[in-house]
Each structure stands twice: as C-alpha cells, then as structure tokens.
Amino acid sequence: MTILKTLSLATLALAASMSLASAETFTKGVIKKLDTKAGKVTIIHEALIDLDMPAMTMVFRADEEMMAKMAEGNEIEFLADRVNGKLTVTALK
C-alpha cells in the first residue's frame, strides 16, 4: 500500500470517528420524579453514550418547556448535556 493511500485511509477513519463522536445519541429512560418548581427531573436512564455514563437513576435539570412534555412514569428518549456544569435534558423525542 502506498503512503498516500495509507494517509487517506487514516484521514477517512479519523473523519468517521469524529462524526460518530458528535452524533447525538438518544437515550431511553423512565421519569421517576418531576419537580417542576426546582427544575429537576429524576430519570432512570440507560447508558448515556455521549457522556460516557453507565445506566443509573439520577437527577437532571430541565427547563419549563421541556418539563411541560414530561410526566412521572413516562418512558422517554432524551438527549442530555452539561449546561453550566449541570447535567440537563436538552431534547426529547
């Protein structure tokens, strides 16, 4: 294999891994508790691939608009990210 071919393959592999890293992966979860006053939602979630987090039950932040679409006991698919250092629900399917 020529050096040029090897290099272009390496570039392709890098591009593929970068696009994977930036892809948003929806995670399944069940809403255990909703505290709209505090802006907090407890979710029993499956592994959060983008955040490198195993399955667990934990509290997320969520804004009013997001919480309006939630109810205790709901099965959801969601995106989470760190917003000002706090894990926050950023999207719902």
> 4 or 54: whose CB is closer to Cu ion?
54
Considering the rule CB under 5 A, would residue 58 count as an interface residue with Cu ion?
Answer: yes
Minimum CB separation of residue 82 from Cu ion in Å reads: 12
Which of 14, 15, 18, 56 touches Cu ion (CB under 5 A)? 56
Let me know how long the chain is.
93
Residue-wise over 1-13: b if at least 16 C-beta within 10 A, else e? eeeeeeeeeeeee
> 3 or 52: whose CB is closer to Cu ion?
52
* Beta bridge pairs of residue 60: 41
